[in-house]
Amino acid sequence: MDFFIITSFTKDISRFDLVGILIGHLIFGVAVTQLLDWTWLKNLMSEEDKRRMLKSYTWKDLLVDGAIVTVVLGIVFLIISIFL
C-alpha cells in the first residue's frame, strides 16, 4: 500500500525538483558542518590511544568500512532511482 503512495508522489516531482532537493541538502550539510564547533573531537582520545588504534587497524576493518559506505551509497541511489 505504501509503495503506491510513493509512486504517485514520484509522478508529481520533476528531475529539476529532485536536483534542487539534493543540492539543497548538500549545501545545508556543509553549512551545518561549518557552523558547529568540532574542536571537542580531538579531545576524545589521547595521542597514544590514537596510535595504538591505527596500528591495530587491519584489512578486515577496511573491508567492513568499505561495505558500510557501499550500503549507504546503495540506499542513496535506490532513493534517487525511485524518483527518476
For 7-60, how does the pLDDT look when each residue is reduced to its tens digit (9 = 90+)? 565 566 777 777 888 898 999 988 988 888 878 778 888 888 888 888 888 889
pLDDT at 8: 62
Q: Is the pLDDT of residue 71 over 90?
A: yes
Residue with cell 556543509: 30
Give SS3 for 32: helix
> Quick check: pTM over 0.95?
no
Q: What is the largest CA-CA distance in the chain?
A: 55
> What's the CA gap between 28 and 44, in Å, rounded?
26
- Structural domain span for residue 72: 2-83
Q: Given a cut of 80, is residue 2 above it in pLDDT? A: no
What CA–CA distance (Å, rounded) separates 84 from 6? 12
Q: How many domains does the chain have?
A: 1
Task: Compute the distance between CA of residue 75 and CA of residue 69 in angstroms, rounded to an integer.
Answer: 10
